[in-house]
Amino acid sequence: MRWRSADIAVGAALGVACGVVFWGFNFAYSWISPLLGAILPGVSSLLHAFWYFSGPLAILIIRKPGAAVYVNFIGSVAEMLFGNQYSFGFVFISALLQGVFAEIPFACLRYRKFNLGLSVVSGALVALEYGVYVLLFKFQGVAFASPRGITHMICELIGGVLIAGVMSWFLYLAIARTGALDRFASGRAVRKER
């Protein structure tokens, strides 16, 4: 359960890579969100998971307590250094909360089990946290029980399950199969399955 220098280095590299994804997604989202919102307000929340897939992915790869928080923090620092339209406080607090919620299902099992089901639960918990966080601090004029609020939360959960949960699992498998994780328990687990 102790962090090794390799865990710190891989977490930092993963965080920077995710920060680049967050930064690039900021531009894509600003273009796609109004189009989806024109179809039905709140539907653009389906895509929010591209801002928080890093938490479940970090836990699946590093498999140490605090991995999601660490990778999310590094990712948000990288995103802020590249520049974005969101406030410093909003991004950092959001990243830390996302990391904590991503870790909950794995922490409940003492970081001993890692599978698609737990990845999906992790993604769903982060989606729930982020959905509420956005309603409280970004969409203050939208009531939780309003049609837009309900649509937002449903779409947030769908995106969290599919992108942060399922996509992160298959992304982890793809990375492990390249041999890049051979020195990690996560890489050895994939090799055993072959």
DSSP string, 33-97: HHHHHHHSTTGGGGGGGGGTTHHHHHHHHH-STTHHHHHHHHHHHHHHHH--SS-HHHHHHHHHH
Q: Is pLDDT at 99 greater than 70 in this prediction?
A: yes
Higher pLDDT among residues 115 and 83, named by residue: 115
The fraction of the chain above a pLDDT of 70, given in percent, is: 99
Please provide residue 41's backbone torsions phi and psi, each rounded to the nearest 5 degrees: -55, 130
126 token code pair = 């982060």
The yes-or-no verdict on residue 1 having pLDDT over 80 is no
Q: What is the mean pLDDT of residues 121-132?
A: 97
Residues 6+ apart with CB under 8 A from 39: none
Question: In this structure, are residues 128 and 157 in contact, taking their beta carbons and an 8 Å threshold?
Answer: yes
Residue-range domain boundaries for the chain: 5-193
Is a pLDDT exceeding 70 seen at residue 172? yes
Residue 146 backbone phi and psi in degrees, to 5: -75, 160
What's the pLDDT score for residue 91?
85
pLDDT reported for residue 49: 96
Arithmetic mean of pLDDT over the chain: 93
Confidence tier at 177 by pLDDT (50, 70, 90): very high
pLDDT value of residue 194: 61
CA 22 from centre of chain: 10
The residues, any chain, with a CB within 8 Å of residue 72's CB and separated by 6 or more, are 15, 18, 52, 54, 55, 58, 95, 96, 98, 99, 102
Give the mean model confidence (pLDDT) for residues 95-100.
96
Model confidence pLDDT, tens digit, residues 148-159: 999 999 999 999
The predicted-structure confidence for 26-84, as pLDDT tens digits, reads as follows 899 999 999 998 999 899 999 999 999 999 999 999 999 999 999 999 999 998 888 87
pLDDT of residue 86 exceeding 80: no
Which of 53, 89, 90, 64 has the alpha carbon at shortest distance from 170? 53
Residue 121 and residue 168: Cα distance in Å, rounded? 12
- Span 170-177, average pLDDT: 95
